[in-house]
Homo-oligomer: A and B are copies of this chain.
Amino acid sequence: MKELITLSYKCDCKECIIRNLFFKHLKEEEIDTLCKSKVEKFLKEGQTILKEEIHNTYLAYLKSGLVKYYTEHKNGKNHIITIVKPYESVSLLSIFNNTNLSYNISALEDSILCLIPLKIIKEFIFTNSEFSFDYINSVTTIANRIIERFLTLNIKNLKGRIAFVLLEFADEIYKSDSFKLPITRREIGEMIGMTTENVIRTLSEFHKEKLIKITGKEVTIIEKEKLRKISLFG
Residue of B nearest to A147 (CB): B146
The residues of B that contact A99 with a CB separation of less than 8 Å are: 144, 148
The residues of B that contact A204 with a CB separation of less than 8 Å are: none
- B139 near A140: Cβ-Cβ < 8 Å: yes
Instruction: Return A154 CB to nearest CB of chain B, in Å.
Output: 6
Given known contacts A125-B136, A127-B129, A143 and B71 CB-to-CB distance under 8 angstroms:
no
- A143 near B132: Cβ-Cβ < 8 Å: no
Bound complex: CA A127 to CA B130 (Å): 10
The residues of B that contact A75 with a CB separation of less than 8 Å are: 155
Q: List 11 A-B contacts (CB under 8 A).
A: A77-B155, A79-B154, A81-B147, A93-B140, A93-B147, A97-B137, A126-B132, A132-B133, A143-B143, A146-B147, A150-B150
Q: Using A93-B144, A125-B129, A143-B146 as known contacts, list a sample of 17 further A-B pairs with CB atoms less than 8 Å apart, ordered by residue number in A.
A: A73-B155, A75-B155, A79-B155, A81-B147, A93-B143, A95-B140, A125-B133, A125-B136, A126-B129, A126-B130, A126-B133, A127-B129, A135-B136, A136-B139, A139-B139, A139-B143, A147-B150
